[in-house]
Structure 1
């Protein structure tokens, strides 16, 4: 009898312990679910009213300084260098004589052309005098036949044409002599010299692999920059940019936008933009690389929001608008960014309540408590 009572007490204790453990487990699960539910519902998020503004920013781009004008000068006629009047670094004026050459065969051709010109001139004078006499005699009826008069006129006309051809040949050779003197086509600096007196020169590929001289205009330079596609709409003619060069780190230079390609380079997806730079003191040199600062002022007002309000996910870019106490994901297209703010474009209107710090954890359609 005592053994049965002992067995009964053991079973009762085990049942009581199991019931208590189950109750504690259910309480723990209920508390955990309540905690998770509270975490999924934001207690309150900071919002702001959407407004339009003007966002001004700037970009840093590499640029290159090149001469405003540059030309490689070659010999026009095959010849020999007679005298050189300039050297590397010489500053020259437009029309200044740079080099003189000589070509004996051209001189001989010129003498022959002059002789043919004088000879043909004498022939023409004789045929003209003959025609004039016949014309005067023909005024007496029956003295000169009309056919003889026509033949004399035709000979005179032919001799005149031959004379003009001889003159043209002479002028052509005279022009060739003029090409034996090379003059500066514009003001600039000689940056390259590749010949010496006595050298045999000629057109490129015929005695001259390299140019006689390279002439650059250096008091007027071009600053060339490739502007990425996304920024091309912000640049306008006469906009001012600033730039620096490594050789003169303490100096800050400025230039104005003068020329735009209005087309994108298919490889760089960028537009070529040129600025004019006055360089009267010649401190800047063609070929220098410049660090260019290009301002990007806003032309029209747009929605400007803190960067923290824009959520960038694999599914898209959006901001969170509070509508009737619920979160609404609104897809936007971001623009420029500056000083912690960014432009956005999308289906928004002024006065919309936007979550200050957006997050994927705030689900679309979830209840939300907004606070300012």
Structure 2
């Protein structure tokens, strides 16, 4: 009986021990839950260094290559076929508008002109005779029955036909005379002869493709340049510019914008602009390369961020922004650079904060603000 009581007591103690172990195990698991929760928070990123996006519209300066060209430059051809009879200029000659440069000869043209003038004179005489006949019949027609109506009408038609023939001949003579004027080669504007390709006795005209002279306007030049697309919207009328040329070291020339192509060149995505440059003293030469400095300004303010905030990678150009506790990757296009700032274009807002020193390994998502308090 005593042994039975001892066994029951041992059974109760073992049961209590098991219960205690189970309770401790349960309690141990309950204490680990906050630790797990803490570990899950550590997956959130720490709060990075950020800077506010700047909105500004500063004036900036760029330097671009350009070319000085003659304001006007043409090749002079002979409109009619003939032989060069006389030459009055050579390469390097300065000429005035309308100045005689060369004289051609074409004897057959003189003969044609004489024939046309003779024909014109004959037809004029025929017209005068027909007109006199009509005037007489018209005067006689006043006497009743002296001249039939049909005779008067026939005389009038003959006079009008003679007049038409005379006018046609007169126009032909004027045309031949005008062609003969083309035997005299004259300068179309003030300029300088840059090339002479013929000599006295040479056959020129529509049968040859060689120009007699090359003439360029030297007292006025065009400064032409191609402005990159990202600067195309920053130009304005009468925009000032300064430029230098290698042939005049140490000298700086000033000018103003004269004209713009308005549309981008599809080949290189640039805007062609021109500046007129007075050159009355011939200090500059057409054909020189120039380096132009422009002071530009956008028409509207744009976004600016620190240069170190922009990432250029094989996947593109982008930056990271922080907004409402979330980091987001935004693709951008770079504009100009000014000091330590870079102009950017993209889906940005004024309230966005830009990560100051991001890297390609920067992750998008929420940030852990608790670790930074």
Please give the alpha-carbon distance, in whole angstroms, between the structure 1 residues aligned to 2:133 and 2:298. 86
- Please show how residues 338-349 of structure 1 align to structure 2 within 5 Å: 338-349=338-349
Q: Is 1:82 matched with 2:85?
A: yes
Cα deviation for residue 189 of structure 1 reads 1.1
Deviates more, 1:145-154 or 1:249-258: 249-258
Give the corresponding residue for 1:166: 169
Cα deviation for residue 134 of structure 1 reads 1.5
Please give the alpha-carbon distance, in whole angstroms, between the structure 1 residues aligned to 2:113 and 2:141. 42
Cα deviation for residue 45 of structure 1 reads 5.7
Give the corresponding residue for 1:102: 105
Please give the alpha-carbon distance, in whole angstroms, between the structure 2 residues aligned to 1:116 and 1:155. 18
Q: Is 1:302 matched with 2:302?
A: yes
Give the corresponding residue for 2:236: 236
Q: Is the 8 A contact 1:238 1:256 kept in 2?
A: yes
Cα deviation for residue 236 of structure 1 reads 2.4
Question: Could you say if the C-alpha distance between residues 370 and 211 of structure 1 is closer, same or farther in structure 2, counting changes exceeding 3 Å?
Answer: farther
Give the corresponding residue for 1:328: 327
Give the corresponding residue for 1:367: 368
Please give the alpha-carbon distance, in whole angstroms, between the structure 2 residues aligned to 1:265 and 1:352. 36
CA RMSD of superposed structures (Å): 2.8
Helix, strand or coil at the partner of 1:268: coil
Please give the alpha-carbon distance, in whole angstroms, between the structure 1 residues aligned to 2:236 and 2:107. 57
Unpaired segments ≥5 residues, structure 2: 1-40
Deviates more, 1:249-258 or 1:351-360: 351-360
Cα deviation for residue 58 of structure 1 reads 3.2
Cα deviation for residue 52 of structure 1 reads 1.9
1:181 equivalent among 180, 184, 194: 184
Cα deviation for residue 186 of structure 1 reads 1.2
Cα deviation for residue 57 of structure 1 reads 3.0
Helix, strand or coil at the partner of 1:250: coil
Helix, strand or coil at the partner of 2:241: strand
Question: Could you say if the C-alpha distance between residues 116 and 321 of structure 1 is closer, same or farther in structure 2, counting changes exceeding 3 Å?
Answer: closer
TM-score when scaled to structure 1?
A: 0.79
- Please show how residues 20-99 of structure 1 align to structure 2 within 5 Å: 46-99=49-102
Q: Is the 8 A contact 1:189 1:216 kept in 2?
A: yes
Cα deviation for residue 55 of structure 1 reads 3.5
Deviates more, 1:326-335 or 1:114-123: 326-335
Helix, strand or coil at the partner of 2:261: strand
Q: Is the 8 A contact 1:327 1:362 kept in 2?
A: no
Please give the alpha-carbon distance, in whole angstroms, between the structure 2 residues aligned to 1:99 and 1:125. 41
Cα deviation for residue 110 of structure 1 reads 1.2
Please give the alpha-carbon distance, in whole angstroms, between the structure 1 residues aligned to 2:359 and 2:133. 109
Please give the alpha-carbon distance, in whole angstroms, between the structure 1 residues aligned to 2:290 and 2:161. 67
Give the corresponding residue for 1:145: 148
Q: Is the 8 A contact 2:321 2:330 kept in 1?
A: no
Give the corresponding residue for 2:286: 286
Please give the alpha-carbon distance, in whole angstroms, between the structure 1 residues aligned to 2:322 and 2:157. 102
TM-score when scaled to structure 2?
A: 0.79
Give the corresponding residue for 1:201: 204
Cα deviation for residue 41 of structure 1 reads 6.7
Deviates more, 1:111-120 or 1:226-235: 226-235
Cα deviation for residue 337 of structure 1 reads 1.3
